[in-house]
């Protein structure tokens, strides 16, 4: 064990937060790298958020993750916010700088792209039209990352069209909006289909997404990881499409956060993935 002058601290602020897999993930890396420290779930209610963030430097925290419902509300407490997070309009990571000021970032988009590339290294964002279902916070991170990765056409389809139009006007090209009712046709010549809605998640209604017109060559991804295989992914796999679930996004978004806090970029190993998978209901 390296000699350390203090116990390393980080955590995740959310409410509810006990379901988060992030403590398992970061504590695995702390131990793996011989670092004395802990990553803890911080159950913070909205009215306590700003005080909790302000307390991070005094408590000696290296930083924390931010999850539901605080990803937007935490932003005013930041002394600086990186351009990617500014564009997404939300942060999922706070780093305490040496002078005690707070820096906000958002690694969800990085995690998303990394999760696709780790499964399919030859994947290319510019391979053809990409259809993205949903226009919430998850969608904003995924769409920004796909655009930055070189996507030429991102068809954004959302039940509430106005929310998709807001993303299109915030991001500009290559985002185009199509009606939710047109989703079955929107995938006709698509290279990729991504679900960022909450439909299909454990405890949520199913996603009704006909795949008849989707090319067999298309990649289908879902940012949901509970259950491990959503009905969308099961249906896509059954007809021969390549699929990626949301677990890789969770695992990979954590890597740059750990690096920013503790100075080491950790790896997503098969052992780590298996450990987190084992904690998720089938």
What amino acid positions are annotated as catalytic residues? 71
Instruction: Compare residues 4 and 169 and give the one whose CB is closer to ligand ATR.
Output: 169
Contact status: 196 vs ligand ATR (CB under 6 A): yes
- Quote the least distance from Cβ 135 to ligand ATR, whole Å: 5
Would the CA dihedral through 23, 80, 107, 138 be positive or negative?
Answer: positive
Q: How far apart are CB 282 and ligand ATR at their closest, in Å?
A: 22
Give the whole-angstrom CA distance, residue 54 versus residue 47: 13
In 3D space, the residue among 228, 250, 275, 253 whose CA is nearest the CA of residue 32 turns out to be: 275
Q: Specify the residue, 174 or 246, whose C-beta has the smaller distance to ligand ATR.
A: 246
Give backbone dihedrals phi and psi of 188, rounded to 5 degrees, phi first. Answer: -50, -45
Which residue's C-beta sits nearest to ligand ATR?
136
Least distance between ligand ATR and beta carbon 164 (Å)? 8
DSSP line for 117-155? HHH-TT--GGGS-EEEE--SHHHHHHHHHHHHTT-S-EE
CB under 8 Å, gap of 24 or more: what pairs does 45-50 form? Answer: 45/15, 46/15, 46/70, 46/73, 49/13, 49/73, 49/74, 49/77, 50/76, 50/77
Asked if 160 is part of the footprint of ligand ATR (rule: CB under 6 A), the reply reads: yes
Of the pair 161, 242, the CB lying nearest ligand ATR is at 161
Count of residues interacting with ligand ATR (CB under 6 A)? 15
Q: How far is the CB of 122 from ligand ATR (least distance, A)?
A: 28
Residues in Cβ contact with 272 at an 8 Å cutoff, skipping those fewer than 6 apart: 25, 28, 29, 251
User: Contact region for ligand ATR (CB under 6 A) — 23-31, 111-119, 158-166, 231-239?
Assistant: 158-166
User: For ligand ATR, what does the binding mask look like between residues 37 and 76, x meaning CB under 6 A?
Assistant: ----------------------------------------
CB of 106 to ligand ATR, least distance (A): 12
On the 0-12 / 13-18 / 19+ scale of CB atoms within 10 A, 119 is: middle
Q: Residue 158 pairs with which residues in a beta bridge?
A: 179
**Using CB under 6 A, which residues numbered 131 to 150 contact ligand ATR?**
134-139
- Angle between helix 137-148 and 161-171 (nearest 10): 40
**Which member of 86, 178, 198, 231 binds ligand ATR (CB under 6 A)?**
198
Pairing mode, strands 93-96 and 102-105 = antiparallel
Tell me which of 65, 67, 92, 197 binds ligand ATR, using CB under 6 A. Answer: 197
Which of the ranges 57-65, 103-111, 198-206, 233-241 carries the binding residues for ligand ATR, by CB under 6 A? Answer: 198-206
Does residue 205 touch ligand ATR according to CB under 6 A?
yes
Q: Which spans of this chain sit near ligand ATR (rule: CB under 6 A)?
A: 134-139, 158-160, 163, 196-199, 205
């Amino acid at each position: 064990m390296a000699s350390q002058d203090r116990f390393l601290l980080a955590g995740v602020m959310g409410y509810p937060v006990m379901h988060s897999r992030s403590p398992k993930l970061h504590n695995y890396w702390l131990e793996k790298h011989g670092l004395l420290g802990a990553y803890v779930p911080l159950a913070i209610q909205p009215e306590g958020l700003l005080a909790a963030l302000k307390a991070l430097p005094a408590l000696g925290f290296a930083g924390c993750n931010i999850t539901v419902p605080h990803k937007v509300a935490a932003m005013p407490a930041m002394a600086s916010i990186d351009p990617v997070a500014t564009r997404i309009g939300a942060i999922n990571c706070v780093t305490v700088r040496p002078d005690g000021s707070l820096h906000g970032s958002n690694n969800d988009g990085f995690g998303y792209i990394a999760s696709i590339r780790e499964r399919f290294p030859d994947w290319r964002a510019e391979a053809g039209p990409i259809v993205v279902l949903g226009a919430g916070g998850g969608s904003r991170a995924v769409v920004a990352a796909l655009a930055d990765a070189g996507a030429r056409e991102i068809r954004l389809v959302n039940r509430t069209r106005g929310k998709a139009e807001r993303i299109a006007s915030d991001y500009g090209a290559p985002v185009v909006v199509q009606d939710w009712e047109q989703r079955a046709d929107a995938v006709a010549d698509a290279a990729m289909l991504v679900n960022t809605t909450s439909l299909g998640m454990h405890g949520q209604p199913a996603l009704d997404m006909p795949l008849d017109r989707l090319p067999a060559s298309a990649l289908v991804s879902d940012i949901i990881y509970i259950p491990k295989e959503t009905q969308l992914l099961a249906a896509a796999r059954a007809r021969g499409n390549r699929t990626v679930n949301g677990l890789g996004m969770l695992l990979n978004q954590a890597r740059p956060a750990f690096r920013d806090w503790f100075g080491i970029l950790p790896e997503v190993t098969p052992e780590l993935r298996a450990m987190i998978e084992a904690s998720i209901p089938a």
